[in-house]
Amino acid sequence: MLSVHAIDAAYGDSQVLFGMSFEIGAGEFVTLLGRNGMGKTTTVRAIMGILPVRAGKILFNEEPIHTLPSFRIAKAGIGLVPEGRQIFPNLTVRENLIATAAPPPAGHQGWTMDRVIDLFPALGERLTSMGNQLSGGEQQMLAIGRALMTNPRLLILDEATEGLAPMVRAEIWHCLENLKEEAQAILVIDKNVDALTRIADRHYIVEKGAVVWTGTSEELRADEGIQHQYLGV
Ligand SMILES: Nc1ncnc2c1ncn2[C@@H]1O[C@H](COP(=O)(O)OP(=O)(O)O)[C@@H](O)[C@H]1O
Ligand SMILES: [Mg+2]
């Protein structure tokens, strides 16, 4: 579904990605792991067309997307829950959810406001609250709900559980497990290796702008050396 082929990307003169490569198949739950500053968010920015790709290519359903503007990439079916959430603070919860909503691909059930509220009942009680009146956990649920309302074929979550209380975090993992059961393709970037090796299929460890290790959840759990060397676990 998504194929990132040896991409380079930079901020001005400062190159951050050096031949970053990985793949996500239909219905797969894949993670990018690695310490802070290794280039995970930069990879997401390159995928979403926020940062230009200087070398290599990115294919989505076989089509090159690394030359497209961001709105076309979103429209092609990639939904992002960005680092730091970035919900609209001066829109209500309802307005946040419908602001970027898009219909599902033909023949798919698709996400609606009702389904998002079923997934996160807390949001249903806050539909008329402004984005900036929500707790951190509610904001994160809103950011996920908003991404789902675009009916993405691939959902990307960048540090979605950062700064959340353990119970809210658990709720988000639970939600992602449910999405996985519906065969939603998911890319997660997060620090919670324990939770992710329970629910994800495969992992890529990123170090200085390239993938240095890849394997299944079972392989990662079994390899304490790798976890220690690259994740500081
Ligand atoms: N907007 C930016 N301008 C310049 N350098 C940046 C910018 N954003 C990130 N960087 C640098 O790029 C590197 C990778 O950052 P990032 O992709 O955010 O890492 P990660 O998400 O893995 O923590 C870091 O050295 C960071 O300082
Ligand atoms: Mg990041």
pLDDT (0 to 100) of residue 88: 95
Q: What percent of the chain has pLDDT over 70?
A: 100
- Mean pLDDT for the stretch of residues 180-207: 95
Q: What is the average per-residue pLDDT within 198-227?
A: 96
The number of domains in the chain is 1
pLDDT at 171: 87
Cβ atoms of 196 and 217 within 8 Å: the answer is: yes
* Ligand 1, pocket-test mutation among 4, 7, 11, 80, most atoms within 8 A of CB: 11
Q: For residue 187, which of 37, 28, 53 has the smallest C-alpha distance?
A: 28
Residue nearest to atom 15 of ligand 1 (CA): 37
Least confident of 99-108, 173-182, 210-219, 221-230: 99-108
| CATH code, domain with 86 | 3.40.50.300
pLDDT (0 to 100) of residue 61: 96
Q: How many angstroms separate the Cα of 129 from the Cα of each of 96, 210, 225? A: 10, 42, 47
- pLDDT at 165 > cutoff 90: no
CB 63 within 8 A of CB 13: no
Cβ–Cβ < 8 Å for 82, 90: no
Query: Cα(37) to centroid of ligand 1, in Å?
Result: 5
Confidence category of residue 232, pLDDT binned at 50, 70, 90: confident
pLDDT at 106: 78
What percent of the chain stands above pLDDT 90?
84
Residue 82 has pLDDT above 90, yes or no: yes
Q: What spacing in Å lies between the alpha carbon of 106 and ligand 2's midpoint?
A: 34
Q: What pTM was estimated for this model as a whole? A: 0.94
The confidence score (pLDDT) of residue 83 equals 93
Atom 26, ligand 1: residue with shortest CA distance? 37
**Which amino acid residue places its CA nearest to atom 17 of ligand 1?**
39
Nearest CA to ligand 1 atom 9: 42
Ligand closest to CA 159: 2
Model confidence at 233: pLDDT above 80: no
Domain range for residue 167?
Answer: 2-231
**What local confidence, expressed as pLDDT, does residue 105 receive?**
76
Q: Ligand 1 mean position to 14 CA, how many Å?
A: 10
What ligand 1 atom has the least distance to the C-alpha of 159? 21
Mean pLDDT of 195-218: 97
Within 6 A (CB) of ligand 1 lie 11, 14, 16, 34, 36-42
Sequence-ordered list of residues with C-beta below 8 angstroms from that of 53, at least 6 positions apart, any chain: 7, 8, 9, 46, 66
If you average pLDDT over every residue of the chain, what do you get? Answer: 94
